[in-house]
Amino acid sequence: MNLKGIFSRRSSGQLESDQPDTPQGRQQALPRASQDPVSGSSPAALVSAASASAASNSFAPTSTSAQLEIKNLRVRYPGRDVDAVANVSLNLAPGQTLALLGDSGSGKSTLLRAVGGLVDVSGGDICYAGESVLQMPVHKRGFVLMFQDGQLFNNLSVAENVAYGVGRNSAYGVGRNSEEVVAQMLELVGMSAYANSPVTELSGGQAQRVALARALAPNPRLLLLDEPLSALDRSLREGLARDIRSILRERGTSAIYVTHDQDEAMRVADLVGIMAGGRLLRLDTPEGLWADPGGVQVARFLGFGPFLDADAVAALGLPLKLEYGQILAPAPGAWSLAPAEASLGEGIVEAGVESVTMSQGSYLVQASLEAAAADPLTLRTSEPLEVEQWINVRLDLSRCPLIDMRKRA
């Protein structure tokens, strides 16, 4: 594996630029995607290489160990009359992974790009280790971006692609140790056997493993991942999400991970942030989110429901009493099919089947509650049911947090 040529060509300094430090200047400083890795690269690969050479929505924890601090951050694109990111504050401790979840246009990718220095900030601050990075050139921040397509160089082997990410100023250094670094990274992502293979022969999942190895090779201060698995099949995403979490933990690498897939976010992250309309609605551990979504908007996004107010709870005969302004929010999976002979009460109620579809080897059933005006509930069962059939359903009250509408939006 001859890597000397890669490093000698990279040492020509193409990552340094006299372009103005604006998004336009930064894009001009980025070599074009059509160029080869010697003279240039795509934006994602360049940021990877560059970092190698180098009403407030407040969720700032009280811990003084914060590594990354985002303070009242605002981003507004030119010509727009609303913020793409609106007064977002959060802290990230060393070694933590934060997943940002939200619909398209929620601001999650804009927030990620603002941290990476690819969009201008309209207000607030971004600090790393107590130092603001807003005036710091992209290539000196020590942050690495990894995008969904990986953007590997097709004319290089697997090992050469990873070698390109090591960088002149990485913690590992270059030259004599470069091959060792590449070998370590490929072993870390389970791709050692493919070191000399052309990347054009890799599957989608294998290519993303190589892209991850290249992103980690320079030992970045912060890894930024923008929908890294979205182009893969669900089965591949599930396995790779678990592997990414394990790798990040083993390396102690802090990361921000943008995704639209809730399951993926819960597998990867220590903290999950829910965004909508540029605002950070909720930030908590995966377990904390399920225990307390904090409000109807977040609960609905996570699939809680149907929401039951005091009247609905009383009409269903559930064994609890809600105060005015409180609602019961059943989490996904809280509803299940109860035996037909079961007595109503103590969490068992009657419902009418509205639709039945086969999904992932079981039946996905939507049913309406007879005794309460509420949206249809959803449950899974292995039993075939008929539309308009009456069934008994059980509500697991231990999976139903209370949301106080008097205190939260």
**pLDDT of amino acid 150:** 67
- Cα–Cα dist 98/90, whole Å: 10
Q: Using alpha carbons only, how large is the chain's radius of gyration in Å?
A: 25
Q: Which tokens is 52 given?
A: 């190698």
Scanning 337-409, the segments in alpha helix (DSSP H) are none
**pLDDT of amino acid 234:** 77
Q: Yes or no: is domain 28-291 CATH 3.40.50.300?
A: yes
Closest CA to 340 of 400, 392, 401: 392
115: CB partners within 8 A, 6+ apart: 68, 70, 126, 143, 222, 224, 256
The CATH classification of domain 304-404, taken from the options 3.40.50.2000, 2.40.50.140, 3.40.1160.10, 3.30.70.890: 2.40.50.140
Q: Give per-residue pLDDT as tens, 47-102.
A: 333 333 333 454 444 344 679 999 999 999 999 999 999 999 999 999 999 999 99
How many alpha carbons fall within 13 Å on the CB side of residue 97?
Answer: 28
DSSP 44-109: HHHHHHHHH----EEE--S-TT-SEEEEEEEE--TT-SS-SEEEEEEEE-TT-EEEEE--TTSSHH
Q: Give per-residue pLDDT as tens, 67-82.
A: 999 999 999 999 999 9
- Cα–Cα dist 152/164, whole Å: 10
List the domain boundaries for the chain.
28-291, 304-404
Highest mean pLDDT among 229-233, 236-240, 337-341: 337-341
**pLDDT of amino acid 60:** 46
- Cα–Cα dist 44/147, whole Å: 6
Confidence of residue 133 (pLDDT cuts 50, 70, 90): very high
Highest mean pLDDT among 124-128, 148-152, 201-205, 249-253: 124-128
C-beta separation of 141 from 133 below 8 A:
yes
**pLDDT of amino acid 193:** 94
User: What is the reported pTM?
Assistant: 0.79
Q: Which of 6-10, 191-195, 401-405 has the lowest mean pLDDT?
A: 6-10
Q: Give per-residue pLDDT as tens, 352-398.
A: 999 999 988 899 999 999 877 778 999 999 999 999 999 999 999 99
